[in-house]
Amino acid sequence: MNQKQPIYEWLDADGNNTLAIDYPLNKDSWVIDLGGYHGVWASQMLEKYNPNIILVEPVPEFYAYLRSKFKGVSKVTVLNFGVSAERTSGTLFLRADGTSKYIETENPIIVQFLTLQDILDMAGKDHIDLLQINIEGEEYDLLEQMLEDGLILKFQNIQIQYHGGVRDYVERRLRIQERMSEWFTKTYDYPFVFEGWSRKDV
């Protein structure tokens, strides 16, 4: 697969301003954004729907930026953690919006990782209307665990950016998609750019 082609197609569709923010949300909805970075997507969602948003960002510099950006916005909560399949501490390698466990740079930092269930418990929520996952390779472990323990069923819509550079990443993505299709309908798919899923009627 030519992985550049989906990027061009996404840009042609203006995906960041169309598909990525097109969800059945309102002011009472709850959104979790894993990998908040500079909060561009969160700002778009606030402007369009004014939902409650939990931004999860492990890098202290980006966390501080988000705290400042959304200071005084009561509907936005910013948490300084990473999210993974298990509660642990680990190394991230700083590289702007490509900060990752899987691509080493000369700027490592130690961060705390929580599980997604930990985040739900902190929010006191059992159902989330939209989950965005953009966590630079950690999405595979996280989604596999969510499928294994059924946590994935607590989310109505899921938007995912998959990344390369992880063991068996092509095959793992396909296996995750196959399992997700039992409960979710794929709403769009630009491989390794973004894809969207919506919970089937139950």
- How does pLDDT run across 154-177, given as a tens digit for each residue? 999 999 999 888 899 999 999 999
Residue type at 95 in one-letter notation:
R
Per-residue pLDDT at 86:
87
The model's pTM: 0.91
We report the CATH number of the domain holding residue 130 as 3.40.50.150
Per-residue pLDDT at 94:
61
Q: Which residues of 117-140 are buried (b: 16+ CB within 10 A; e: fewer)?
A: eebbeeeeeeebbbbbbbbbbbbb
Domain count across the chain: 1
Residue type at 75 in one-letter notation:
K
Q: Which of 13, 15, 45 is nearest to 194 (CA)?
A: 15
Question: If pLDDT is split at 50, 70 and 90, which confidence band does 103 have?
Answer: low
Compute the average pLDDT of residues 145-162. Answer: 97
Question: If pLDDT is split at 50, 70 and 90, which confidence band does 3 have?
Answer: low
Q: Which residues contact 117 (CB under 8 A, 6 or more apart)?
A: 151
Per-residue pLDDT at 166:
86
Residue 53: give the domain boundaries: 4-199
Per-residue pLDDT at 108:
75
Between residues 88 and 131, the one the model is more confident about: 131
Per-residue pLDDT at 161:
94
Question: If pLDDT is split at 50, 70 and 90, which confidence band does 98 have?
Answer: low
